[in-house]
């Protein structure tokens, strides 16, 4: 469980509170709303000026919290001369997870065909896949993702969505900052709207959007009670993943 109680950070957050006990929560808001600051507080990278943050009952800067939390910032720069397999093995050793975890994470993010490539040879999308695989291997209970799709290629995003879904189904928690509607819908069930450092609304992601048919009718008028989830059909999935074999 993650608890944020009346947290203040000078000039960035003003009395933000929420609790997450299950599922995934999307932090939604414009640039400068406080999303990254909030994630950094939960990740233990910075301290609040007032208020309290607890991660599974522990302070966010404690070893106990670190062992149960994975954090992916917006940008991670790996040494360009290292190979993909070397980066993943170093991350595995640092995380103290099983030897198979590196290969499993690589498979999750479609990196097995690129195992022997150096970081400098990878596209921006593949480097972001590598960052996610390195951070999320071993599947710690809490994932903190700061705009993880911003540099991802379509195939990488599809793989992240599948991995996040599997993580939630196992009881894992996710807090993710995101902008695009398809990312928010695919990665979280709930959303917390932030504006100018304050929490303005929390509710189901389905409450953020409405859907209309070309003739102007609302979708819920045609299909009462239906919930629309964006998922690629088989042929699109094949096309998205096809690029990984290049």
Write phi, then psi, for 14 (nearest 5 degrees).
-135, 90
pLDDT at residue 233 is higher than 60: no
Token code pair at residue 82 = 């290292």
Rounded CA gap, 207 and 173, in Å? 21
- Cα–chain-centroid distance for residue 222? 33
Residues 56, 122 within the same domain: no
* Euclidean distance between CA atoms 155 and 203, whole angstroms: 29
Q: How far from the centroid of its chain's Cα atoms is residue 136's Cα? A: 10
Q: Label residue 239 by pLDDT band (50, 70, 90).
A: very low
What integer is the mean pLDDT of 138-166? 92
Q: What is the pLDDT of residues 28-55, one digit of tens each?
A: 888 888 999 999 999 999 999 999 999 9
CB-based contact 157:243 (threshold 8 Å)? no
Among 118, 140, 162, the domain-final residue is 140
**Which of 140, 165, 183 is the endpoint of a domain?**
140
Q: Which of 149, 138, 218 is nearest to 186 (CA)?
A: 149
Q: What is the mean pLDDT of residues 72-89?
A: 93
CATH code (residue 240): 3.40.50.300
- Of the pLDDT bands very low, low, confident and very high (cuts 50, 70, 90), residue 180 is confident
- Domain end, chosen from 86, 116, 140, is at 140
Q: 200 with 178, same domain?
A: yes
Q: Are residues 151 and 214 in the same domain?
A: yes
Domain that includes residue 19, residue range: 2-68+141-245
Q: Higher confidence at residue 166 or residue 223?
A: 166
Please give the pLDDT value at position 236.
44
* Strand 142-146 versus strand 69-72 pairing type: parallel
Q: Which of 48-57, 78-87, 94-103, 209-218 has the lowest mean pLDDT?
A: 209-218
Q: Is 18 helix (H, G, I), strand (E, B) or coil?
A: strand
Q: Do 146 and 31 share a structural domain?
A: yes
Cα–chain center distance at 72: 7
């Amino acid at each position: 469980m993650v608890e944020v109680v009346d947290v203040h950070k000078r000039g960035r957050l003003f009395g933000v509170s929420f609790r997450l006990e299950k599922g995934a929560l999307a932090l939604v808001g414009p640039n400068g709303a406080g999303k990254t600051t909030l994630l950094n507080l939960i990740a233990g990278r910075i301290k609040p000026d007032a208020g309290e943050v607890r991660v599974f009952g522990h302070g966010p800067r404690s070893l106990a919290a670190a062992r149960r939390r994975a954090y992916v910032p917006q940008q991670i720069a790996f040494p360009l001369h290292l190979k993909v397999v070397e980066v993943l093995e170093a991350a595995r050793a640092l995380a103290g997870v099983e030897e198979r975890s590196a290969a499993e994470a690589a498979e999750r993010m479609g990196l097995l065909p690129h195992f022997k490539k150096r970081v400098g040879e990878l596209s921006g999308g593949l480097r972001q896949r590598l960052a996610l695989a390195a951070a999320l291997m071993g599947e710690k209970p809490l994932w903190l993702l700061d705009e993880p799709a911003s540099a991802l290629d379509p195939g990488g995003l599809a793989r992240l969505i599948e991995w996040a879904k599997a993580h939630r189904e196992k009881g894992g928690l996710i807090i993710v900052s995101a902008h695009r509607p398809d990312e928010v819908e695919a990665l979280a069930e709930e959303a917390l709207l932030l504006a100018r450092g304050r929490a303005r609304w929390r509710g189901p992601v389905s409450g953020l959007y409405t859907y209309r048919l070309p003739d102007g009718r609302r979708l819920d008028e045609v299909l009462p009670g239906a919930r629309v989830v964006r998922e690629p059909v088989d042929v699109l999935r094949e096309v998205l993943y096809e690029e990984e074999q290049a």
